[in-house]
Structure formats: C-alpha cells, structure tokens
C-alpha cells in the first residue's frame, strides 16, 4: 500500500512540476523573443520598441516602455508564480523520488557517504549553488559575459563531478538540475522581482526609477533563458542510461549543456543576422560524436585475470557462454523483485516502466534495455541491493550479444 501511495504522490507532483515548468519556460522563451524582435524605430520617445503580432485569430499590438508609463495601469500582470511553483514542486519531487529511499535511489553502492549525509549535501548544494552564482554575477566578471559563462560552466562541472562521486548517475544529474533551477528561481526572487517592485513603486510615488535595476533584471532573465535547455535535458535524462549511467557522466552532461547553450544562443541572436548559424550543424556533429564515444563496451573476449601460485604469470579466461536458463536465473535473482507482474520490492506496487521479466520470452523482448541498464552501465539493480557481481553482468552481456539464444 505504501508503494502504491508513493507512486501516486510521485505522479501528482511530477504532473504539477511539468505543467508549471512549461508555463515558466514558455514565458521565458516568449519574452526573450519579444525583446529581440521589437521594432526600435518608434516615434514615441517613451517607448523602447513595439511589435505587431497575430495569433489565435487576433491581432496584437505590444509596446515596451524605456522605463514605465507616466501613470501605472490599473491591471498589471506579474510573472512570478510560474517560477516559484516550478521550484517548490521540483524540490518536493526530489524528496519523494530520492530522499524517501536515499539508500536505494540516491547513494552509490559502496559509497562511504551515508544516506542521511547525502540528503543533507543535496539540499545544502542548492543554497551554495545560488550564493556562488550570485557572487560570480556581482564580481568583475559581470562586465565580461563570455568569461562569466565559462566560470559558471566550470562551477557546474565541479558540482556534477562531485555529485557523481557518491550519488547514482540519475540522482547526480537531477541534483545538478536542481542547483541550476535554484539559481534561476533565485534570479526571479532576489533580482528580477525587486527590480520590478522598485520600478512600479517609483512610478506610483512620482519619482524617477533607477534604470540600473531593470537592466540587471533583464540580464538575469537572459541567464535564465540560456540555462533552460540544460535543465530540460536533465528533466528527461532518466530515460537515457547511456548518459547518466556512463562512467564519464559528468563530462557527458557538460557536452550536452554546451550544445544546448549554443543552440539557444543562435535562436537568441538570429534577429541580428545568421552569424551563429554554424551552431546548428556543430550541435548535430557534437551529438554524433558523443553518441559514438558512449557506445557500450561489448564483453566478448574481456578477460578475468587470476594469479598463478608463483605470482609470475597471468592466465586470461574468456567469459564463457551461458544458456538461456542460466540467463533467466541471473535475471530472476537480480531483476524480478521489481520487474514482475507481482513485484516483491517494497518500493514498487507495479513493474517500473511496465517492464516484466518473469519469462525468458519477456527477457528476450527487452534484452537491449537490460544490456544498457546492467551491462553497459551498472545502474541496475537499484543500488545493487541484490549484489549482482561483475561476472554475472559479463555472462549476461555475452548471452545477449550472442543473440540471446
């Protein structure tokens, strides 16, 4: 019953997180596009630009003021709850998925870091990430956007590498996403919203607004826009074990993030010409290269070394072929407690992703996915709670690569 309730709690929070996340990301993309496509040749000296657009059968006329109109409108929409709701639901989801069963989902098997310490580090990293990012943005680097971006990227690489030393690959990725998400919502809460309140307050009080605050708010909003695509990848990364399950998972995350930032930069600047159009084919080429370098190793002739009595010579033993019955036994021992029509694992009331390995026919149907999860990477069994040995992984991999016959 507990597993069933947790599954529905996971569903509800994840659903909310996706909905509000779409609203936040959509607003970010739209307003950056709007800013980039304003017609700056306007006669009204109070305006920074305007835009005519058609959507949904209607024509819209949008105007942006250099600072603000002489009098505030009666109704002014504020974009903030999309960001706050995304962060709150994301942290709740992090807790439900990784913290309620940290020994299985959060901590790497054999890690000296305890589940309790892992949870504390995960939550503490959110605050540390914001403070480091904010300090970088307030440092002299703020006058050098490229250097600031490089410094931020190096910091996130360090964070990803650190997480990968004691967290499971999936947990490490999601925590990097949570750190980035905290930076983004921190921008909204501490920078963008205060700047907007100051602007509105000055207009209502009849005083001159400080133009530096809205300018800084726009800059942080652009930061959020560039950080969006890496976060989106992280949100869906759990479906791709060849990324988070790879031994160089932190480097793969860096590569994919750089690709997404380059693509975002092209779309953010194409209104000024096509000088960054090369980013699109470069991104495709980089993806192909990463797909190639992450091709799983096929255990066929990998050797197990054993010392002879005199410790002077080593004998290499090729992994022996196994029968389907033996493969079935390995899977039944280490996988069927979760992946079954009637799971016995306390965390699941139904088979994860609907994958069931009760029969040899089912195992053969999903052999490629089994290979990716248990042989090419060691992300399954969860936390290696069943103690699957390297020899068993090699045998199972050999059986699959030989045709699963």
Q: 142 and 285, same structural domain?
A: yes
Question: Is the pLDDT reported for residue 315 higher than 80?
Answer: no
pLDDT cut 90: percent of the chain above it: 70
From CA 41, how far away is CA 48, in angstroms rounded? Answer: 9
pLDDT in tens, 188-213: 999 999 999 999 999 888 888 888 89
Residue 299 has pLDDT above 70, yes or no: no
Residue 8 included in any domain: yes
Q: What percent of the chain has pLDDT over 70?
A: 94
Say if residue 239 is in the same domain as residue 177.
yes
16 and 119 fall within a common domain: yes
Residue 316 has pLDDT above 90, yes or no: no
Out of 89-93, 134-138, 218-222, 300-304, pick the least confident: 300-304
Last residue of a domain, one of 259, 274, 293: 293
Domain check: are 267 and 311 in the same one?
A: no
Is residue 98 domain-shared with residue 47, that is, in the same domain? yes
Query: Residue 184: inside a domain, yes or no?
Result: yes
Is there a single domain that holds both residue 167 and residue 87? yes
Residue 306: pLDDT over 60: no
CA max distance for the chain: 92
284 with 328, same domain: the answer is no
- Which carries the bigger pLDDT value, residue 101 or residue 251? 251
Report, as an integer, the average pLDDT of 289-304: 69
Asked if residue 255 is part of any domain, the answer here is yes
**Is it the case that residue 11 has pLDDT exceeding 80?**
yes
Domain count across the chain: 2
- Distance, in Å, from the CA atom of 21 to the CA atom of 181, rounded to the nearest integer, reads 10
Residue 170 lies in a domain: yes
Looking at 275, 293, 311, the residue that finishes a domain is: 293
State whether 239 and 175 are in the same domain: yes
DSSP H or E stretch at residue 58 = strand 58-65
Residues 144, 273, single domain; the answer is yes
Task: Say yes or no: 186 and 329 in one domain.
Answer: no
Tell me how far apart the terminal alpha carbons of the chain are, to the nearest angstrom.
Answer: 38
Per-residue pLDDT band for 310 (boundaries 50, 70, 90) equals very low
Q: Is residue 174 part of a domain?
A: yes
Residue range 4-25: average pLDDT?
94
Instruction: Tell whether 298 is covered by a domain.
Output: no
pLDDT at res. 22: 96
d(CA 306, CA 194): 66
The model carries a pTM of 0.86
Same domain, 339 and 241: no
Quick one: average pLDDT of 108-126?
Answer: 95
If you average pLDDT over every residue of the chain, what do you get? 90
Tell me what the mean pLDDT of segment 142-167 comes to.
95
pLDDT at 352: 87
Domain end point (choices 293, 315, 350): 293
Please compute the mean of the pLDDT values over residues 7-28 and round it to a whole number.
Answer: 95
Q: Classify residue 107: in a domain, yes or no.
A: yes
Q: Please check whether residues 200 and 343 belong to one and the same domain.
A: no
CA distances in angstroms from 130 to 125, 145, 195, 221, 235, listed in the order given: 8, 18, 18, 15, 19
Domain boundaries, position 338: 303-401
Q: 297: pLDDT confidence band, cut at 50, 70 and 90? A: low
Q: Per-residue pLDDT for 58 more than 80?
A: yes
Mean pLDDT of the region 285-294: 94
């Amino acid at each position: 019953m507990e597993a069933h309730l947790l599954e529905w709690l996971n569903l509800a929070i994840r659903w909310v997180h996706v909905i509000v996340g779409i609203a936040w990301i959509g607003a970010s993309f739209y307003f950056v596009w709007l800013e980039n496509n304003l017609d700056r040749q306007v006669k009204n000296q109070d305006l920074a630009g305007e835009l005519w657009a058609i959507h949904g059968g209607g024509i819209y006329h949008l105007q942006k003021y250099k600072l603000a109109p002489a009098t505030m409108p009666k109704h002014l929409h504020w974009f903030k709850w999309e960001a706050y709701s995304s962060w709150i639901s994301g942290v709740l989801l992090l807790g439900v998925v990784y913290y309620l069963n940290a020994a299985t989902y959060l901590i790497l098997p054999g890690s000296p870091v305890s589940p309790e310490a892992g949870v504390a580090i995960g939550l503490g990293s959110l605050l540390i990430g914001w403070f480091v990012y904010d300090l970088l943005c307030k440092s002299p680097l703020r006058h050098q956007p490229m250097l600031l971006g490089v410094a931020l990227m190096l910091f996130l690489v360090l964070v990803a590498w650190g997480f990968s030393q004691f967290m499971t690959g999936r947990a490490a990725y999601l925590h990097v996403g949570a750190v980035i998400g905290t930076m983004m919502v921190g921008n909204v809460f501490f920078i963008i919203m205060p700047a907007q309140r100051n602007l509105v307050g000055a207009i209502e009080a009849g005083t001159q607004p400080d133009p530096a605050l809205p300018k800084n708010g726009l800059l942080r909003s652009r930061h959020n826009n560039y950080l969006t695509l890496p976060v989106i990848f992280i949100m869906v990364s759990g479906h791709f074990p060849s990324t988070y399950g790879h031994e160089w998972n932190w480097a793969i995350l860096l590569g994919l993030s750089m690709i997404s930032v380059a693509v975002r930069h092209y779309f953010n600047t194409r209104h000024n010409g096509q000088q960054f159009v090369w980013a699109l084919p470069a991104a495709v080429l980089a993806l192909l290269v990463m797909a190639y370098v992450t091709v799983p190793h096929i255990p066929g002739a990998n050797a197990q070394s054993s010392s002879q009595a005199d410790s002077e010579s080593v004998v290499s033993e090729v992994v022996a072929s196994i029968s389907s019955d033996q493969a079935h036994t390995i899977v039944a021992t280490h996988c069927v407690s979760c992946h079954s029509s009637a799971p016995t694992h306390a965390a699941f009331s139904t088979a994860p992703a609907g994958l069931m390995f009760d029969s040899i026919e089912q195992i053969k149907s999903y052999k490629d996915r089994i290979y990716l999860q248990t042989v090419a990477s060691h992300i399954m069994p969860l936390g290696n709670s069943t103690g699957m040995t390297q020899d068993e992984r090699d045998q199972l991999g050999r059986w699959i690569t030989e045709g699963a016959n």
